[in-house]
């Protein structure tokens, strides 16, 4: 590639700017009001360089892109045996808001679907930590990864809690099966606060670069998570980060990734780079339409496919 990186990123955005396919998420009122045209892209290398284009500094709620990072925090707080005893790592092949429990064990199939992420959130900050400590834990950890103090969007949080019937139903079922022991409303409140943390595409790229660097923060050179936690997190992303399109995604783009309903996308090429994209219009799976296309193009042009 001969074009300098910033010009190249802008070129990728320009090529897709006119694509208005998909729809902004409707089921959370605050997200339905999002500007559908926002479009930002950032790359952060394991050497600590960040390149950005478009609306890469526009804040949006992290939503499901929080799930891999909360999973990493839970693995650190509670160890592999406890976390893997509560949540599996198999693709569910179902939508993100299905219950998708394993037969027999009743474990949610993976930490990337809502049932798995609600369960993971209850494990944060040690046994018996209340909702406030769990939320503080994710906020502090996400801020450490992004290398800036992040905040929670209280309006998104209130908006989503007002329409959280489906997640409440999942939490009640999880409690009924003994997968969580937290009160269902408290479980959903903590998980929803986790989803309401405000980030930018640049933040996602930097957060992803820590996973790419096997847990070492490229800005400081400090280890912020054990290498095996980064590896486990990336494995879960590869298996299930793109929900019921995880297989198509992996064959087309070939890197572990995670999407969210506010239009954020995280991609991680191990050993090399974290990618953050923001574009709110979603496809039928709940993945950002232009986010997917940006990643397909980057993968092709930069030869990112792991296979």
SS (H, E, C) 270-298: CCCEEEEEECCCECCCCCEHHHHHHHHHH
Is 8 noted as a catalytic residue in this protein? no
Cβ proximity to ligand DON, 30 vs 77, nearer residue: 30
Q: How far apart are the C-alpha atoms of 212 and 275, rounded to whole Å?
A: 10
Q: How many helices and strands, by DSSP H and E, does the chain display?
A: 12, 7
Q: Residue 228: which H helix or E strand, with range?
A: helix 227-240
- The site map against ligand DON for 87-126 (x = CB under 6 A) is ---------xx----------------x------------
167 annotated ligand-binding residue: yes
Beta-carbon contacts of 24 under 8 Å, excluding residues fewer than 6 positions away, are 31, 32, 34, 36, 263, 280, 281, 282
Q: Which of 40, 108, 241, 286 binds ligand DON (CB under 6 A)?
A: 286
Beta-carbon contacts of 200 under 8 Å, excluding residues fewer than 6 positions away, are 40, 42, 56, 57, 58, 59, 60, 276, 278
Is 279 an interacting residue with respect to ligand DON (CB under 6 A)?
no
Beta-carbon contacts of 269 under 8 Å, excluding residues fewer than 6 positions away, are 212, 255, 275, 304, 306
Nearest to 49 by CA among 272, 295, 301, 304: 272
The least CB distance from residue 80 to ligand DON, in Å, is: 25
Q: Which of 70, 99, 234, 261 binds ligand DON (CB under 6 A)?
A: 261
228 annotated ligand-binding residue: no
Is 293 noted as a catalytic residue in this protein? no
Nearest to 83 by CA among 131, 120, 137, 114: 120
Is 191 noted as a catalytic residue in this protein? yes
Stretch that binds ligand DON, among 87-95, 216-224, 254-262, 266-274 (CB under 6 A): 254-262
Q: Which of 40, 260, 267, 280 binds ligand DON (CB under 6 A)?
A: 260
With contacts defined by CB under 6 A, how many residues of the chain interact with ligand DON?
13
Q: How far apart are the C-alpha atoms of 64 and 262, rounded to whole Å?
A: 9
Cβ proximity to ligand DON, 63 vs 110, nearer residue: 63
Q: Which of 45, 86, 110, 167 binds ligand DON (CB under 6 A)?
A: 167
Q: How far apart are the C-alpha atoms of 53 and 55, rounded to whole Å?
A: 7
Q: Which of 63, 100, 110, 233 binds ligand DON (CB under 6 A)?
A: 63
Catalytic residue among 12, 46, 61, 64: 64
Tokens of 27: 């089921």
User: How many CB atoms lie under 10 A from the CB of residue 284?
Assistant: 11
Instruction: Select the residue whose beta carbon is closest to ligand DON and give its number.
Output: 64
The least CB distance from residue 232 to ligand DON, in Å, is: 21
* Catalytic annotation, residues: 64, 67, 191, 243, 261
Residues within the interface to ligand DON (CB under 6 A): 63-64, 96-97, 114, 160, 167, 192, 195, 259-261, 286
The annotated binding site for substrate is made up of 64, 114, 160, 167, 191, 243, 261
């Amino acid at each position: 590639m001969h074009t300098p990186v910033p010009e190249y990123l802008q070129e990728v955005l320009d090529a897709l700017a006119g694509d208005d396919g998909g729809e902004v998420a409707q089921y959370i009122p605050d997200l339905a009001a999002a500007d559908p045209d926002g479009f930002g892209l950032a790359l952060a290398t394991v050497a600590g360089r960040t390149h950005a284009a478009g609306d890469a500094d526009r804040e949006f709620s992290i939503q499901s892109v929080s799930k891999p990072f909360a999973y990493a925090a839970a693995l650190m707080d509670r160890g592999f045996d406890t976390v893997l005893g509560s949540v599996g790592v198999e693709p569910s092949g179902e939508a993100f808001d299905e219950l998708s429990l394993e037969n027999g064990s009743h474990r949610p199939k993976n930490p990337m679907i809502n049932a798995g992420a609600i369960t993971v959130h209850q494990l944060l900050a040690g046994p018996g930590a209340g909702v406030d400590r769990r939320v503080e834990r994710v906020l502090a950890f996400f801020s450490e990864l992004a290398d800036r103090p992040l905040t929670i969007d209280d309006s998104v949080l209130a908006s989503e809690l007002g329409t959280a019937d489906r997640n409440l139903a999942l939490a009640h079922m999880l409690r009924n099966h003994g997968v969580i022991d937290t009160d269902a409303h408290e479980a959903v409140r903590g998980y929803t606060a986790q989803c309401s943390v405000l980030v930018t595409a640049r933040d996602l790229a930097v957060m992803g670069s820590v996973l790419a660097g096997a847990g070492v923060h490229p800005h400081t050179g400090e280890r912020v998570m054990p290498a095996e936690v980064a590896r486990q997190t990336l494995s879960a992303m590869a298996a299930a980060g793109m929900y019921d399109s995880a297989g198509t995604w992996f064959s087309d783009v070939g890197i572990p990734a995670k999407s969210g309903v506010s239009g954020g996308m995280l991609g991680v090429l191990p050993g090399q780079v974290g990618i953050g994209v923001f574009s709110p219009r979603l496809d039928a799976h709940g993945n950002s339409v232009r986010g997917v296309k940006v990643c397909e193009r980057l993968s092709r042009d930069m030869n990112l496919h792991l296979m």
